[in-house]
Amino acid sequence: MRIRWFTVAGAAALTIAFLVGSGNRGEAQPAPDIPFAPRTDPSLKDPDNPTKTFRVDFARVEHEFPLSRADLMKITPENITALTQEEVDQLYGRLTAGPIPDGQHAGDLFFARADNAGGGGRLNTRLEEILGGIGGRVAGESIEFLEDLGRRLWKGKVFYRDQRILRNMIENVAVLRPLVDDIGSVRTTTIPRESRIGRALGTDTVWLLFPAKLYCGQSLVDGRRESVIVDYAYTDEIEGYRARPDLLAGRGGLQIRDEIRMIRPGFYLGRAYMNRMFLLNFTLYNEEVADREGLRFAAGAPVPEDCWPGEQGRKAAAR
């Protein structure tokens, strides 16, 4: 049975906290110094409407403002959150999927900011628009609360590349136990104390909840090439599924669907959708892979592509 709409605001808050929580964000940092196209292109003005301008399309951005490996090495999980949504979109459109990840990845989210807001701009009320009504206004005004809740509960994602599935790492805390079916059978995983996640975690064992399927598929924002899709629609078909709380993310709940592309090895940029409506951005980071592959990537080593990279080759690959 589908979740009644009057519970959606609360369910959205809980699911966002679980699936794409705020991770362990440090102090705010300046935006990375990488090229972006102007938000509008004066040459595309409508002669019948002189005040109207159009966003520059991804293909043109990629052709005229290619990203080098050096540019991509400047981006971190911390400084990417200082970008406006238009800049995040342009960055995502110039990435390819890279390899489907494997193993534990620490996560962080950032809600869209107004494109003209600058470094300290207001947050976009996308969540408010999606939920609507009183629940939407409450959620839209509670972004900081959601981020703090996520920081306390959600620790990242574990990818099982060979099985093409994913599970989310959730801290085992007393307040969540009444919300989880058959706690004794919940899968767990161990977090290395020296890892990015472990250094900020009070325990080295976390729950594995909200399973999802992994596959290559068309991006909802950029159809020129594929992304890695994290699909919760058929979460109930994956071993270990439990109706509470996994149902919240599935086709009978909020219909969550994520897509990710690689910035550099071990570091992915993602977009979260609720019922195919864009909700927020998030990052995933595996420091072991990033440390091991970073220098080779910066030097121009080839990157395996599990998904279709599109007809328009990235200029940066030849630089």
User: Total structural domains in the chain?
Assistant: 1
* 95: nearest Cα among 268, 311, 257: 268
CA angle 113/117/119 to nearest 5° reads: 90
Whose structure tokens read 């086709």?
Answer: 251
Token duo for residue 126: 């996308």
**Is residue 132 in some structural domain?**
yes
- Looking at residue 105, its pLDDT comes to 95
76 CB burial (10 A radius; 0-12, 13-18, 19+): middle
**Is residue 305 in some structural domain?**
no
Contact (Cβ atoms closer than 8 angstroms) between residue 28 and residue 82: yes
**Is residue 307 in some structural domain?**
no
**Is residue 287 in some structural domain?**
yes
**Is residue 285 in some structural domain?**
yes
H helices of 76-228, in order, are 85-93, 126-131, 133-140, 143-153
**Is residue 79 in some structural domain?**
yes
**DSSP codes, 14-63:** HHHHHHS--TT--S--PPP------SB-GGG-BTTBTT---BPPHHHHHH
pLDDT tens sequence across 185-212: 999 999 887 776 666 665 688 999 999 9
* Distance from C-alpha of 173 to C-alpha of 217, rounded to nearest angstrom: 35
Model confidence at 283, in pLDDT bands (50, 70, 90)? very high
Model confidence at 230, in pLDDT bands (50, 70, 90)? very high
pLDDT at 7 over 70: no
* Distance from C-alpha of 191 to C-alpha of 250, rounded to nearest angstrom: 26
pLDDT at 2 over 50: no
pLDDT tens sequence across 134-156: 655 555 555 566 556 665 677 88
**Is residue 316 in some structural domain?**
no
* Distance from C-alpha of 210 to C-alpha of 220, rounded to nearest angstrom: 22
**Is residue 317 in some structural domain?**
no
Model confidence at 121, in pLDDT bands (50, 70, 90)? very low
169 CB burial (10 A radius; 0-12, 13-18, 19+): buried
What mean pLDDT is predicted for residues 229-252? Answer: 94
pTM: 0.85
Domain that holds residue 138: 5-42+52-300
What is the percent of the chain where pLDDT is above 90?
52
